[in-house]
Amino acid sequence: MFSLYRTTLPALCLTLILPCSAHAEDGKAPEKPADATAERPALIERNQEDALALERQVPKEEQQTLQAASDNFLALWKPANSPTPAGVLVILAGAGETADWPKTVGPLRRKFPDADWGTLSLAMPDLLSDSPVARSESPAPAPKAEDTSKAAPAKDTPADANANIAQATAPETDSESSDSPPADASSDSTDAERIFARLDAAVAYAQQQNARSIVLLGNGTGAYWAARYMSQRQPAQVQKLVMVSVQTPLKVEHSLESLAPTLKVPTADFYYNDQGAVRQAAQQRAQASKRLKDSNYRQVALTAMPGNRSAEQEQLFRRIRGWLSPSEAN
């Protein structure tokens, strides 16, 4: 009997100690999980991704990193192939285009150095007015209390089912179709300042090359922003403005027609006359210029050549060169 007590007593003590140690371990504060959002790297802009791709494609000697306020951006520089350059052509690409875009931007920046003009091409920053608008999240509906006393069969149709279907298939009202509101004044002003800062840096770089003349050329929506830059900043260093296939962005405060009276430099408006809407818009710009006294505006219609892109780009180059240097036009 005594030996039985000797064997059971330690076992009983052990069973009493183990739960206490388990409770002590449960009392430890759980470790906080690492904050995943804090380690997530910031997304870069689309134009920065394009710049990284260009750095792998374009020769290093053509790449220039310019500073615009707190924004570093890539510009592509090609000096004039002449001991006495005529000047520098600053080329602003349109929205979604790179500084070496295969249409207009790239061909012109490579062709003009053989015509005694240095070229400096740059892309626009990503615009706030083009950013998608986040949908406002509506709070989740509170769960309904289940009525266990009157449970309907699964095959029965609820009383308001037809009302829900009618609501889901009803046409959207004006209040619901406002997912993409027009850009407000703050985003338009911010976009303008960012683009103008890049153009200021590009013009400053052109001045450092001892350019006798600086001409600003914009393509697509870049032509609109180039005209707005010349209208609002009126830089004395830029002597001429060239617009190619100008497009007014959808969400801006100032129309291109409202900018025309404030342009103080000779301006050339090159457009392709193969589309009716483009011809109509060009006609409106031409009529607006005729109402101005001592207008320096000139419009040049080009022939579109969809099947021969090389000839189309050569035509554009020759017409722009003829306007910049009439004595050298062929």
The answer to whether residue 26 scores a pLDDT higher than 60 is no
Residue 130 phi, psi dihedral angles, 5° rounding: -95, -5
Residues forming a β-bridge with 297: 267
Token readout for 187 is 């985003």
Task: Find all residues with CB under 8 Å of 257, minimum gap 6, and list them.
Answer: 284, 285, 288
Q: Which pLDDT band holds residue 16 (cuts at 50, 70, 90)?
A: low
Q: Which pLDDT band holds residue 127 (cuts at 50, 70, 90)?
A: confident
Percent residues over pLDDT 90 in the chain: 49
pLDDT in tens, 136-153: 344 445 555 555 444 444
Q: Which residue has the higher pLDDT, 251 or 68?
A: 68
Most confident of 12-21, 180-189, 263-272, 286-295: 263-272
Res 162: pLDDT: 45
Average pLDDT over residues 166-188: 50
Whole-structure pTM value = 0.73
CATH of domain 46-127+183-323: 3.40.50.1820
Q: In whole angstroms, how far apart are CA 9 and each of 5, 16, 113, 295? A: 6, 11, 101, 111
